[in-house]
A and B are shown apart, each in its own frame.
Chain A
Amino acid sequence: DQQVKQNSPSLSVQEGRISILNCDYTNSMFDYFLWYKKYPAEGPTFLISISSIKDKNEDGRFTVFLNKSAKHLSLHIVPSQPGDSAVYFCAASWEGGADGLTFGKGTHLIIQP
């Protein structure tokens, strides 16, 4: 049973536009969420995180929104740049649970020139 779901395997966005990546979770115990970016042949790179006490966190071009009632979070990238082309993973954890992260399957973002 997948507790973190990224239902879009791929997403294509034009350079300069907004990229919106979505993530849903089923475990209501999750209270900390992270986004990672992964290039081929490299490990995941941390992008941004959000605690369940917040509904928005912003860092430069990256903003994460959390809707706890819907068990949904999204990552917005504005403006999208060619270097943003990568696989993006949503991950979650909860205080008192195993300290390991639970990841979604990832969304392959392709930025078109």
Chain B
Amino acid sequence: DTGVSQDPRHKITKRGQNVTFRCDPISEHNRLYWYRQTLGQGPEFLTYFQNEAQLEKSRLLSDRFSAERPKGSFSTLEIQRTEQGDSAMYLCASSLRASGRAEQFFGPGTRLTVL
């Protein structure tokens, strides 16, 4: 399978704990995105990388959130001191931005439940 993969698929944690999610994009894609989706809503943009550079962060990305993409390959999203409001599906997407626009391909998501 050469699609976008995410790990873990599900995470249950207690409030105040730190969690880290991993995303492996489609191998030749240079752009990687993180989104968050809550029940009844569409995905909301959090941040994106072009290669290893983080180029944009949404105001939704509080100081407790940090994302990295070392060497421009896989990416991690860490949430520190989790809160119940962080419970959501965290989606990763990738695209190949050569020229013009390119559609984003999504992974299956990591569902986070904060107790």
Which of A46, A93, A100 lies in contact with B35, CB distance below 8 A? A100
Contact A100 B103 (CB under 8 A): no
Q: How many residues of B contact A (CB 8 A)?
A: 27
- For the complex formed, measure the closest distance between the CB of B96 and the CB atoms of chain A, giving whole angstroms: 13
Contact B42 A100 (CB under 8 A): no
At the interface, yes or no: B41 with Cβ under 8 Å from chain A? yes
Contact B101 A106 (CB under 8 A): no
What is the bound-complex CA distance between A99 and B105, given in angstroms?
14
Assuming A46-B103, A100-B33, A100-B56, is B108 touching A89 (CB within 8 A)?
no
Of B43-51, B62-70, B71-79, the one with at least 4 CB within 8 A of chain A: B43-51
Please give, as numbers and ranges, the residues of chain B lying within 8 Å of A101 by CB-CB distance.
Answer: 35, 43, 45, 104
Contact B43 A103 (CB under 8 A): yes
Contact B43 A89 (CB under 8 A): yes
Closest A residue to B3 using CB positions: A43
Contact A43 B58 (CB under 8 A): no
At the interface, yes or no: A102 with Cβ under 8 Å from chain B? yes
Interface residues of A in 62-113 (CB under 8 A from B): 89, 91, 93, 95, 98-106
At the interface, yes or no: A16 with Cβ under 8 Å from chain B? no
Which of A43, A51, A100 lies in contact with B48, CB distance below 8 A? A100
Q: How many residues of A contact B (CB 8 A)?
A: 25
What is the bound-complex CA distance between A44 and B101, given in angstroms?
18
Q: Which of B43, B44, B107 has the most CB of A within 10 A?
A: B43
Please give, as numbers and ranges, the residues of chain B lying within 8 Å of A46 by CB-CB distance.
Answer: 103-106
Contact A49 B101 (CB under 8 A): yes
What is the bound-complex CA distance between A103 and B106, given in angstroms?
14
A–B pairs, 20, beta carbons within 8 Å? A4-B42, A34-B103, A43-B109, A44-B43, A45-B106, A46-B105, A49-B101, A89-B42, A91-B42, A99-B33, A99-B97, A100-B33, A100-B35, A100-B58, A101-B45, A101-B104, A102-B45, A105-B40, A105-B41, A106-B42
Please give the residue numbers on chain B whose beta carbons come within 8 Å of chain A beta carbons, in ascending order: 4, 31, 33, 35, 40-48, 55-56, 58, 91, 93, 97, 101, 103-109
